[in-house]
Amino acid sequence: MRTIGEARKALDLLMERAVSRQTRRGTLAEKQLVQAMVADSWIQLEQFRLLVLRTAWKIDRLQDYKAVRKDIAAVKAAMPKVLHDIVSRAIQVHGSRGVSDEMPFVEQLVASYVMGIADGPTEVHQVALAKELLAAVKPAEGLFPSAHRPAARERARRALAAAGAATAAAPHTNDAGRSA
């Protein structure tokens, strides 16, 4: 939640700079590549915010750490990148001032790396999440993946043939449901 606050602060400053800084042809906010930075940052932050919110909701509702372990691992794995990416864009649109100690971004950028280490390395959270996800998945039956089209077509053909054989074997009925 603290990371959301830090990232939101960086995004607010990014947008303020974009609408304030005049170049020879309009503001930075009028440049499409800067607009893309704003859009990507907002999307990344909102996705992360919803993941945090859902995880907090599950913690409250389930009161069972094991049941939310993978959600917590996902939050911890996502967190450093969200902060890193948004702060990096904020630095970029602030130009030289962005990398100076007149702005808070360098500390925020270092904080994004700290987030990937301090509460356990990101890799450990990724592994915890992936292990739990994979443990719930069954291997495909047979040689091919379950969405393999030729195999699926063959299964459908066999099912259709079986249904056709069953229909042919059943007594024929007319529209009124009486045997012909």
Ligand X SMILES: Cc1cc2nc3c(=O)[nH]c(=O)nc-3n(C[C@H](O)[C@H](O)[C@H](O)COP(=O)(O)OP(=O)(O)OC[C@H]3O[C@@H](n4cnc5c(N)ncnc54)[C@H](O)[C@@H]3O)c2cc1C
Binding site for ligand X (CB under 6 A): 114, 117-118, 120-121, 123-124
Residue number with CB closer to ligand X (63 or 65): 65
What's the min distance (Å) between Cβ of 44 and ligand X? Answer: 22
What's the min distance (Å) between Cβ of 89 and ligand X? Answer: 24
Distance CA 7, CA 82 (A): 7
Distance CA 170, CA 166 (A): 6
For residue 68, how many other CB atoms are within 10 A of its CB? 21
Residue number with CB closer to ligand X (98 or 116): 116
What's the min distance (Å) between Cβ of 114 and ligand X? Answer: 5
Residue number with CB closer to ligand X (124 or 165): 124
Residue number with CB closer to ligand X (104 or 121): 121
Residue number with CB closer to ligand X (32 or 65): 65
Distance CA 116, CA 93 (A): 24
What's the min distance (Å) between Cβ of 1 and ligand X? Answer: 17
For residue 45, how many other CB atoms are within 10 A of its CB? 20
Encode 86-115: b = buried (16+ Cβ within 10 Å), e = exposed.
bbbbbbbbbeeebeeeebebeebbebbeeb
Integer angstrom CA distances of residue 52 from 25, 45, 69, 155, 179: 40, 10, 13, 42, 63
What's the min distance (Å) between Cβ of 5 and ligand X? Answer: 18
What's the min distance (Å) between Cβ of 8 and ligand X? Answer: 22
Distance CA 107, CA 87 (A): 10
The alpha-carbon radius of gyration of the chain (Å, integer) is 27
Residue number with CB closer to ligand X (124 or 133): 124
